[in-house]
Chain A
Amino acid sequence: MKDEPVRNVRWEGDTAVIEVEGDIDLHRSPRFQKGILSVLNDKPGKVVLDLSGVPYMDSSGVASMVKLLSRTRERGIGLKLANTSTKVKSILEITSLDTVFELTDSLDDALK
């Protein structure tokens, strides 16, 4: 398991693309949350979470994404989740958050 869940943040215009890596569970969600929320300090117009490198996420990881969603909504910033794995989709469905988050199957779709 990699140490830092946020592997990289890159910019496509004013969109911050946050690349996440590894399982997000109780062990790593505090660093995941810190990493994704800190991007808001750079005042993006839009945020895309690229979850292609995340095979698994537990409720603590989902809670971190809900916190990000809440902060982005407060600031009028769009948020999309790209490339969610089957297991991450599954936990979002079970918690009825699959209709709350905007999910896209590719990074290209998320950047449109």
Chain B
Amino acid sequence: MMNRDEESMMDERFSIDADSSVLQEVRQRLEEFASSAGFDPESSGRIVMAVDEALTNIIRHAYKGKNGGKIDVELSAGPECLCILLRDYGVRVDTDNIQGRPLDEVKPGGLGVHIMNECMDSIEYLPAVGGGTRTVLRKALPDCKREEGEK
């Protein structure tokens, strides 16, 4: 399950099992974090949606749905943006193949990447030292929160 090894108000790190049964707990924690960083409920919900899809992709593709894998999660906020880093130790992704599909065709599947792109400002897939991938999702902080930080 979830192991918390470091936490401060605007910086949290924890590790989770690469298992879909932990997703609900992670969503709840992310929503609280985004909300405390200044995002309104709608924006927080969209951030949660994007990270949930990223975690789903890691479980499905990097770990191929097998149990026993680990994902390190790092949440940080400020001064300009909310940043979520997901570090997996699974099969490295081929970034050329990560693309959302056109939505004009109504069919199941292939929606996750589109959701991530719609909900976040940027997403990076970086090879991690020792294997695996670092998925980095960023979203600019709401204006009011940024202005507070400038004071």
Contacts and interface: CB of A to CB of B under 8 A. Distances in A.
Contacts of A7: none
A28 to B, nearest CB: 8
A23 B103 CA distance: 24
Contacts, number: 67
B106 A27 contact: no
B106 A26 contact: no
Nearest to A96: B103
A90 interface: yes
Interface in A25-69: 25-27, 56, 58-60, 62-64, 66-67, 69
- A-B interface, 6 closest residue pairs, ranked by CB to CB distance from nearest: A63-B108, A27-B20, A59-B111, A26-B20, A66-B108, A96-B103
Q: Is the interface of B mostly helix, strand, loop or mixed?
A: helix
Interface of A: 1, 23, 25-27, 56, 58-60, 62-64, 66-67, 69-70, 86-87, 90-91, 94-97, 100
A87 B56 contact: no
28 contacts: A23-B24, A25-B24, A25-B56, A26-B20, A27-B20, A27-B21, A27-B24, A56-B27, A58-B52, A58-B56, A58-B112, A59-B53, A59-B112, A59-B115, A63-B111, A64-B108, A66-B106, A66-B107, A66-B108, A67-B108, A70-B107, A70-B108, A86-B42, A87-B45, A90-B49, A94-B118, A95-B111, A100-B106
Interface of B: 20-21, 23-24, 27, 42, 45-46, 49, 52-53, 56, 59-60, 103, 106-109, 111-112, 114-115, 118-119
